């Protein structure tokens, strides 16, 4: 589990941005956002059984850019995923 102690230092807007990013990253991994209803099916482009990680990253980059996110290239999103995954791995080793 990632260390979330630093979240208390963020402004409300910064915290919203972090939560938005988390939601988008989870959709790439799981095919559906974390707040999806049970039994929800992945939206087009996000089904892990039908699309590669690279394809899902490209779809997410296009979506986030259309939503007005700055710095939302596939490479930036992949880097954010790696950082989150690394944090999870570090915590799992404790």
pTM beyond cutoff 0.95: no
Q: Which residue has the higher pLDDT, 52 or 84?
A: 52
Instruction: Give pLDDT, residue 2.
Output: 60
User: Distance between CA atoms of 42 and 40, rounded to whole angstroms?
Assistant: 7
Q: Decide if 4 contacts 15 (C-beta within 8 A).
A: no
- Structural domain range at position 30: 5-92
Q: For residue 26, give the nearest of 77, 76, 67 by alpha carbon.
A: 77
Question: What pLDDT was estimated at residue 4?
Answer: 67
User: What is the total count of domains within the chain?
Assistant: 1
Question: For the CA atoms of 18, 24, 26, 28, what is the dihedral angle to 10 degrees?
Answer: -150
pLDDT tens digits, 22-74: 999 999 999 999 999 999 999 999 999 999 999 999 999 999 999 999 889 99
């Amino acid at each position: 589990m990632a260390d979330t102690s630093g979240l208390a230092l963020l402004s409300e807007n910064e915290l919203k941005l972090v939560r938005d990013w988390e939601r988008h990253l989870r959709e790439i991994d799981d095919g559906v956002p974390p707040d999806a209803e049970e039994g929800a099916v992945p939206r087009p482009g996000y089904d892990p059984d039908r699309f590669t990680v690279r394809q899902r990253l490209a779809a997410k980059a296009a979506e986030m850019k259309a939503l007005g996110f700055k710095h939302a290239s596939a490479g930036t999103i992949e880097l954010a995923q790696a950082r989150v995954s690394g944090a999870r791995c570090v915590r799992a080793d404790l």
